Amino acid sequence: MSSPILPEEPQGTLSGAIATRETSWSDKQERFRDRYGPWAIVTGASDGIGREFAICLAEAGIHVVLAARRGEVLEALAVALRRDHAVCTRVVAADLGTVAGVETLLDGVATLDVGLLVASAGFGTSGPFIDSPLAAELAMIDLNCRGVAALTHTLGSRFARRNRGGIVLMSSLVAFQGVARAANYAATKAYIQSLAEGLRLELLPLGVDVVASAPGPVHSGFAARASMTMSMAVPPRVVAQQTLESLGRTGTVRPGWLSKLLESALMSLPRRGRVRMMSQVMAGMTRRRSPVGMAGLRQEQQ
């Protein structure tokens, strides 16, 4: 096994660390590391699904770049990963919804041999679109779509040049149809789903695997930020594990039982029926919000 490339000394908002402890790897983890290592970038690593991705990757012996806005939370995770899993870490504190933030991250990984991008940073809004501040809706497009496009473009090119790598994009159960009360969020995830599907075929011959992960409700900070109430949510670890296991095997993974159940329930419906059903599911998650969207839904159903 080739020796890992070690990070440089800390610079600016970046910090690096070198781990030296001997660790033994299972065959599966070693194959994963050979294909997608030695370094992975995980955006949204300070919380929820991204945090679990970072832990799973460190468990597999992959060195991890942790990116999100809250640098101190990332630093604490980095310390734990180095201590528990003997991997190297680098922290990049950046707002990935801005051009400058994306550049900070790309500058921060320029000298690392990165083989995997996990783009998990994202957020949602809920309730009627026209009741939500426009700035929040546009910020969501900037983070969920523009930021992901920029990272995927630059890192996809790097991976293609080295004929090896992987890209994980966070789609959602809502990505496959319009959803009332999450209209713009669902649209951002439709963009991600579509990007991943097309990109997968473009990059496959170049040795780069792409997977879209489309979970249903997940226990994380997401629901609180989106003002939603989620029942039947799966732990973020389930999403991270099932997604990483699917990389290189399929183009779309639906982690968690609810996501799989709803997929089969929705499959036979025409698109209009899927829009209605998913809008009813979303109405149940946003019941405490203003009833404007519910009225719209009722009219649609009549």
Ligand X SMILES: NC(=O)c1ccc[n+]([C@@H]2O[C@H](COP(=O)([O-])OP(=O)(O)OC[C@H]3O[C@@H](n4cnc5c(N)ncnc54)[C@H](OP(=O)(O)O)[C@@H]3O)[C@@H](O)[C@H]2O)c1
Termini Cα distance of the chain: 63
State both tokens at 102: 């994306």
Half-sphere exposure of 51 (CA within 13 A, CB side): 17
Of the candidates 36, 185, 191, 260, the residue annotated as catalytic is 185
Of the candidates 36, 189, 191, 260, the residue annotated as catalytic is 189
- At residue 274, the 3 state secondary structure works out as helix
Q: Which is nearer to ligand X, 251 or 296 (CB)?
A: 251
Q: Which is nearer to ligand X, 136 or 295 (CB)?
A: 136
Q: Which is nearer to ligand X, 56 or 96 (CB)?
A: 96
Q: Which residues bind ligand X (CB under 6 A)?
A: 44-50, 68-70, 73, 95-97, 120-124, 143, 170, 172, 215, 217-218, 220-222, 225
| Shortest spacing between CB 194 and ligand X, in angstroms | 15
| Shortest spacing between CB 15 and ligand X, in angstroms | 16
Q: Which is nearer to ligand X, 4 or 48 (CB)?
A: 48
Element at 200 (helix H, strand E): helix 183-203
Determine contact, residues 179/218, Cβ cutoff 8 Å: no
Determine contact, residues 231/249, Cβ cutoff 8 Å: no
Say how far apart CA 254 and CA 264 lie, in whole Å.
Answer: 11
Classify residue 249 as exposed, middle or buried by CB count within 10 Å of its CB (0-12, 13-18, 19+).
exposed
Q: How many CB atoms are located within 10 Å of the residue 95 CB?
A: 18
**Residue 185 annotated in active site:** yes
| Amino acid in the structure at residue 155 | L
Q: Which is nearer to ligand X, 35 or 69 (CB)?
A: 69
DSSP states along 22-53: -----HHHHHHHHHH-SEEEEETTTSHHHHHH
| Shortest spacing between CB 95 and ligand X, in angstroms | 5
Element at 64 (helix H, strand E): strand 63-68
Active site residues: 185, 189
